[in-house]
Amino acid sequence: MNEAETRAEHIDPALKAAGWGVVEGSRIRREYPITPGRIEGQGRRGKPLTADYVLEFRNTKLGVVEAKALDEELTEGVGQAKNYAGKLAVRYAYSTNGRGIYQVDMSPDSHSSHSSHPPENEISRFPTPDELWAMTFAKADAWSDRFAAVPFEDKGGSHPSRYYQDTAIQRVMEAIAAGVMRILLTLATGTGKTFIAFQIAWKLFHACWSLTGQPTRRPRILFLADRNILADQACNAFSAFPEDALVRISPEDIRKKGKVPKNGSLFFTIFQTFMSGPPKDGKPSPYFGDYPPDFFDFIIIDECHRGGANDESNWRGILEYFAPAVQFGLTATPKRTENADTYRYFGEPVYTYSLKECINDGFLTPFKVRQIQTTLDYYVYTPDDTVIEGEVEAGKLYDEPDFNKIIEIKEREKNRVEIFMGQIN
């Protein structure tokens, strides 16, 4: 009997007998795609990772099952099951040949002398959904249960999440449920940090989580960025929320209405808007001060290494003012000397997904660094130069770190792009 026949005649019935796919809220995900395989070029990819079965209950992945043919050894699939469970960050991995079931507890605690069961052993049947939930979450938690009851918003299945996004979201929700006030995620550029932020906000919104500790009202969530294009993109990405829940804060609207907007659930703005505002009594009066310090329950700081978490940043005062809120930082930059204060402010990330991992998994394309040298790597303004917009300081030397941050010369960037495109095979 081959593997497909073993699954159909032995493993599927065993899972059904345990209640999987039968008990409300339980689901069997067959041939579950984990990674698409590293991109190798020429239209080729490395071997993808696909789990035979993923067991879900209450919108949470709880177990991985690796199936083997009836005549193979029971433990033949243990290595694969462990690998898949590690990737998916689920606690229990199973290997089965249809004649027996081998269970692996991936938790480090299972190897301690205080554990009530061995980390690996043969079992007589699959645990039921409720049993596996209780095995995974030994301590009941009301907020964790409420968060789990809210499924991801995947636009009818057209926008499924990736495994590392699931794990990142789960880690943040666990931290919120545990009362952690400063939370950091470090994920490579291009891995979908805005998607992750959206799903977290979606769960908080529909679970009616707030700083009150009781599910009595919708939360007030602030998305802070350092560029308008990022705030606009985030606001558009959150379009699945009710239209009257979304508020885009801009200086023009504040000046027009004479006050900061407060009616809504999800607010989007940039640091610069919050720092602006007409002076009062000859003293600075930034707009963020028009909100009570405890107005926002949850603050998302996009690219936090560039902004408010920096000790030297003028924007740090915004985060300190809204200290009562749970503050959630997103960054693509691993911990280094120049961004150590970001990690000091938020603490160690609850989850990290590196560029190397993402490339090896096949979600991003491998790349090579090509150095490009031009004839304009520094600039000093002279009166015969035309200033299109803004102001430039005469006599000041602008060098590489200043370009596209303080000063922009479009002809320079056009030339660099032409050189780059000429080197692409």
- What local confidence, expressed as pLDDT, does residue 111 receive? 58
**Residue 24, helix vs strand vs coil:** coil
| Integer Cα distance of 12 and 27 in angstroms | 12
Closest to 351 measured CA to CA, from 196, 133, 223? 196
Q: Where are the beta strands (DSSP E) in 141-276?
A: 182-187, 221-225, 246-248, 266-270
In the chain the domains, ranked by start, together with CATH numbers, are 3-136 (3.90.1570.30), 142-361 (3.40.50.300), 378-423 (no CATH)
Beta bridge partners of 328: 183, 300
| Integer Cα distance of 344 and 351 in angstroms | 16
Q: Which regions in the chain score pLDDT beneath 70? A: 110-116, 307-314, 337-339, 425
Task: Enter the tokens of residue 289.
Answer: 């001060």
pTM here is 0.87
CB 204, CB 144: distance < 8 Å: no
Tokens 């740090």 belong to 316
Closest to 91 measured CA to CA, from 160, 24, 34, 170? 170
Closest to 21 measured CA to CA, from 46, 45, 57, 49? 57
Q: CB neighbours (10 Å) of residue 213? A: 10
| Integer Cα distance of 119 and 79 in angstroms | 14
- What local confidence, expressed as pLDDT, does residue 307 receive? 58
- What local confidence, expressed as pLDDT, does residue 411 receive? 86
φ/ψ (deg, to 5) at 105? -95, 115
| Integer Cα distance of 96 and 127 in angstroms | 14
- What local confidence, expressed as pLDDT, does residue 393 receive? 82
Closest to 54 measured CA to CA, from 18, 100, 15, 17? 15
- What local confidence, expressed as pLDDT, does residue 205 receive? 98
Task: Enter the tokens of residue 240.
Answer: 């699945």
- What local confidence, expressed as pLDDT, does residue 350 receive? 97
- What local confidence, expressed as pLDDT, does residue 279 receive? 84
- What local confidence, expressed as pLDDT, does residue 112 receive? 59
DSSP string, 330-369: EESPPP-GGGHHHHHHH-S-SEEE-HHHHHHHTSS-----
Beta bridge partners of 65: 53, 94
| Integer Cα distance of 101 and 123 in angstroms | 6
| Integer Cα distance of 63 and 53 in angstroms | 8
| Integer Cα distance of 418 and 403 in angstroms | 18
- What local confidence, expressed as pLDDT, does residue 109 receive? 75
